[in-house]
Structure 1
Amino acid sequence: MTILELTSYATLLFLLALLLVSITNQTWFSKLRLPPSPRALPIIGHLHLLGPLIHHSFHDLSSKYGPLLYLRLGSVPCIVASTPELAKEILRAQELTFSSRKHSIAIDLLTYNSAFAFAPYGPYWKFIKKLITTELLGNRILNQFLPIRTKELHHFIRYLANKAEASERVNVTEELLKLTNNIISQMMLSIKCSGTDNQAEETRSLVREVTKIFGEFNVSDFIWFCRNLDLQGFRKRIEDIYRRYDALLEKIILDREELRKKKETQEMTCDSGDDDVKDILDLLLDAMENENSEIKLTRNHMKALVLDFFTAATDTSAIAIEWSLAELINHPMVLEKARKEIDKVVGNNRLIEESDCRNLPYIQAIIKETLRLHPPIPMVSRKSIKECNIHGYLIPKDTLLFVNIWSIGRDPKYWENPMDFKPERFLQSNKGDELIDIKGQDFQLLPFGTGRRGCPGISLAMQELPTILAVMIQCFNWRVVNPSGVEMNVVDMDERPGLTAPRATDLVCVPMARLNAYKILD
């Protein structure tokens, strides 16, 4: 027998063994009384049924096989839940069972295996959650950073006013990303994208690369015998992003440590600096240097937390505002109603402030309706740490969970005329019930998740989003144009795949001034 024949024979045996293992696994799983499932293929399982927009694919499959669905993604078992009742059962009643998160090659390397968002539920996670909610994003700190948010918003409005005066196009997508990135960059690191300081610009670019690669499909994460193979070049891309991000953060941290040493020296010789406003990096360095801390933070913990903040506060906020504006442009009657509310409550002699938004219920309703139809992160994902039972089905340990909040937000069983953009649904109770809110207690609407793993940045988001949108409505009309400059009647509402769910194409508009922005900014 020749070497070629031996190689072919060995390959055939290997493929037959894989087929046998796949069939055996399917037979074994079928005896477990798993949730309904489509027929799987050997090796790849149900991967062939998924398109680029995973939440859309899950929605279509759930419509056919039921609200609790079992899938095998390569060698990884998962379940998909698509109703508020299931979300409540899994994320509240069995919250601790599903307290873990899926890891991937990209997540493990880019988050230094230390990210709060992906950390297992335990002492470290509890310590960081407490640190974030009481110190880093507590009301005191958020109020302390209000001047930063106001200053950046005013700079954004001046830029738009200049473009309106010149009748020039604006890439709203890019400018909203710059705005949200500048806000979090200054809150985190006291840097912004302007002048000769390109650190924030580089950070913004890296964050977009991170969120993009987190959401891409890597075959090595799902098919066991490909784990050590880099078939799609993912590992090379991941390592390149990691090197650039680590070098950038290391320089920022080193510069800050030098600055802190100088301040300490000055404070030893004179009483100054006590009233300086600390950014979040300073607070993290304080925590790292605290010898009495219950958890000893490392440098890698700090870098991972900075990445957590950037990924959570840049893309998602910009995406939500852009979807809101796109819906308003496509629904001029809703836009006009929002303007009337603003004119009545605030008027045209000053710019809207964060404190005004509590008196703008229709603006708040627009944000909630946008988050229902276009949640920036369309699925809540978890991983089971032990075997459990859900509605009579046995769910094995280490099963991935996807709660499809995008699908829940469009289900006619829970929402009247779900495809209609109707903010009024958040202004009046349905059949005498309480109004639905977004804080994680109403499982029909979970844009920020719920429970222990819910987003700790909800307070910042709900101060930022309505204020930015309201100011854009107050100051400008918006004429949508295509890349060639031709005016468009409607905004395209297709999505782009990834960890987040932004619009597929950038929103390009010519802003037209409604009032003298320069005058009310002075």
Structure 2
Amino acid sequence: MFMMSNAMEIFYSIAMFTTLLFLLSKHLLRQKPSQSPPSPPSLPIIGHLHLLKKPFHRSLAHLAKQYGPVMFLRYGSRPVLVVSSTSTIQQCMTTNDLAFGNRPHLTVGAYLGYNYSSIIWSNIGDHWRNLRRIITVELFSTSRLQMFLSLRVEEIHYMIQQLLLKANSDYDNFTRVEFKAVFFELMLNIMMRTIAGKRYCGEDVEKTEEARRFHHVVSETMYLMGASNLGDFLPLFRWFDFQGLEKRIKDTHIERDSLLQGLIDEHRETANKFSAFSTKDGEKKKTIINVLLELQEKEPKSYSDEIIKGIISNLLTAGTDTSSGTMDWAFSLLLNHPRVLKKAKDEIDAQVGKQRLLSESDLANLPYLQSIVNETLRLYPTGPIVIHESAQDCAVDGFEVRAGTMLLMNVWALQRDPKVWDEPNEFRPERFEGSEWDKGGFRLVPFGSGRRRCPGEGMAMRVIGLTLGLLVQCFDWEREGEEMVDMSEGLGLTLPRAKPLVAMCRPRLAMKNVLSEQI
């Protein structure tokens, strides 16, 4: 009887809460400003959540065709503004850059963003500006990027070595290569060696428990960052965690925090013996953790262990899945367009030759290779939906936007807008040749713009360009069969491929001497 009574009390509590939430939602809906943007019909309590389909960016683009480039939605209790045109996104990233400078407080940011204190999740203010300065000046400045050049080259050359081994150095026949984790492991090695001086992937790397845990944590973090937690929009769901996402987020945070703290403690304990990592040529260089711990000694409050862990976690999040995903898409596009692949190879042969390997300094003289990267980022931006939140009342295209409104900028839709791009769904790197293409302003914004523009853009473009260039220079490539490579989009924050990439690879005979001598 007691259990039945208890169950009835819970039932009535839920019913009363739902009723109150329904009345509150009706009240909030009536409170929309008279100059609010067009909005689809909504449902009580859940608002427009029922209209969202996967993939998310395509769902929003479909709605925008019906209701316009500025659209108001309500995700449960959260007001949402969706913008998807060149002019509206430009307003949000320039005129209203400060007004839309905040991030929404979502559950994932509370845990994986160290209570919204990391640069990805923190609101605009003194703390955010200090973090931005640290990352821009101390970690991604031109001098820092140059300092880590030999490390990047080593890891990309190591990837080429592994492909040669896979092909058994057979210059006559093609070998099947699965790219399921090739680019991801490349980026994870680059980032972890830059951060902590350690490699976690490769045939010559012992599969330690620490390496396995880092693999898991990075992959799990990217999944959770892109997952839709209904508890963030419907408070009732937060009570019960029906999806199990909050528990998963907490568990990932605990494991990741332990791993990152271990790296910091290791560097601190061995500071007198080990203060740098070694490159292949024996040169000693400071890791990012070394740099941050030195700053901590000077300003302990500004560089607490928690702040350092937040910076490291942001670097891992922003530096692995994003760049590896872009390389995945770029190589898939090249396999489906042999003409483009041949043109890129001809450019490299003309500018670099066949007597040495392409280097990072050559990239400035390879405009067509750069056009391939730009066209890939246009078609498959690493962040198809950019999420901000309004810190104050403002206006977009004459429509009123209240403070606390979540902003969704559909970069994917913008970069495929037929009003802006000729044949927008076609892969045509030639559209980026010359200087005419960028006269339209905000036509290509894969790294964002304004205050929250990605500070790692310079490093990403270097790694992507050099990796793709060396793959084209060193190997001949074909599709596995007559069928085109499947370009289906998977689900996730960074627009992954739905199916792992597979290709046929053969070392180039013209590069035989160079490959055997220099790698």
Retained in 2: the 8 A contact 1:192–1:201?
no
What is the correspondence of 1:196-275 to structure 2 with a 5 Å cutoff? 196=206, 198=208, 199-262=210-273
1:104 to 103, 106, 111: 106
Q: CA deviation at 1:5?
A: 8.4
More deviation, 252-261/183-192: 252-261
1:340 aligns with 2:384: no
Is the partner of 2:325 in helix, strand or coil? Answer: helix
Take 2:131 and 2:196, find their aligned partners in 1: how far apart are those partners?
Answer: 18
What is the correspondence of 1:246-395 to structure 2 with a 5 Å cutoff? 246-262=257-273, 276-291=284-299, 296-395=302-401
1:26-66 CA distance string (max 9 Å, x none): 2221x432110101111111111111211111100001100
Take 2:211 and 2:397, find their aligned partners in 1: how far apart are those partners?
Answer: 48
1:170-229 CA distance string (max 9 Å, x none): 321301100111111111110112422644453233111101111011111111233333
1:172 to 168, 174, 179: 179
Tell me which residue corresponds to 2:193: 186
Take 1:357 and 1:520, find their aligned partners in 2: how far apart are those partners?
Answer: 22
CA shift in 2, pair 1:359/1:227, >3 Å? same
Retained in 2: the 8 A contact 1:349–1:520?
no
2:484 to 480, 490, 496: 490
Q: CA deviation at 1:488?
A: 5.1
Take 2:158 and 2:495, find their aligned partners in 1: how far apart are those partners?
Answer: 27
Take 2:411 and 2:64, find their aligned partners in 1: how far apart are those partners?
Answer: 13
What is the correspondence of 1:502-513 to structure 2 with a 5 Å cutoff? 502-513=496-507
2:226 maps to a residue whose letter is: G
1:287-314 CA distance string (max 9 Å, x none): 11114x7x62111111111010011110
Q: CA deviation at 1:346?
A: 1.1
Take 2:416 and 2:317, find their aligned partners in 1: how far apart are those partners?
Answer: 26
Tell me which residue corresponds to 2:457: 458
1:499 to 481, 493, 498: 493
1:409-457 CA distance string (max 9 Å, x none): 1111000111111101100354xxxx429xxx93111100001100001
Q: CA deviation at 1:236?
A: 1.8
Take 1:444 and 1:501, find their aligned partners in 2: how far apart are those partners?
Answer: 19
Is the partner of 2:181 in helix, strand or coil? Answer: helix
Q: CA deviation at 1:350?
A: 1.5
Number of residue pairs aligned between Structure 1 and Structure 2: 496
CA shift in 2, pair 1:205/1:442, >3 Å? farther
Q: CA deviation at 1:6?
A: 8.2
Take 1:263 and 1:389, find their aligned partners in 2: how far apart are those partners?
Answer: 54
Retained in 1: the 8 A contact 2:474–2:515?
no
Take 2:267 and 2:323, find their aligned partners in 1: how far apart are those partners?
Answer: 27
Take 2:14 and 2:103, find their aligned partners in 1: how far apart are those partners?
Answer: 36
1:120 aligns with 2:131: no
More deviation, 242-251/175-184: 242-251
1:461 maps to a residue whose letter is: A
TM-score, normalised to structure 1, is 0.90
Tell me which residue corresponds to 1:471: 470
CA shift in 2, pair 1:261/1:7, >3 Å? closer
1:88 aligns with 2:86: no
2:57 maps to a residue whose letter is: H
Retained in 2: the 8 A contact 1:249–1:303?
yes
Take 2:17 and 2:180, find their aligned partners in 1: how far apart are those partners?
Answer: 49
Tell me which residue corresponds to 1:267: none
Take 1:471 and 1:67, find their aligned partners in 2: how far apart are those partners?
Answer: 40
Tell me which residue corresponds to 1:134: 137
2:453 maps to a residue whose letter is: G
1:227 maps to a residue whose letter is: R
Take 2:16 and 2:339, find their aligned partners in 1: how far apart are those partners?
Answer: 66
TM-score, normalised to structure 2, is 0.91
Identity of aligned residues (%): 36
2:360 maps to a residue whose letter is: E
Q: CA deviation at 1:130?
A: 1.2
1:70 aligns with 2:72: yes
CA shift in 2, pair 1:134/1:514, >3 Å? same
CA shift in 2, pair 1:8/1:213, >3 Å? closer
* Ranges in structure 1 where 5+ consecutive residues have no aligned partner: 265-274, 482-486
RMSD: 2.2
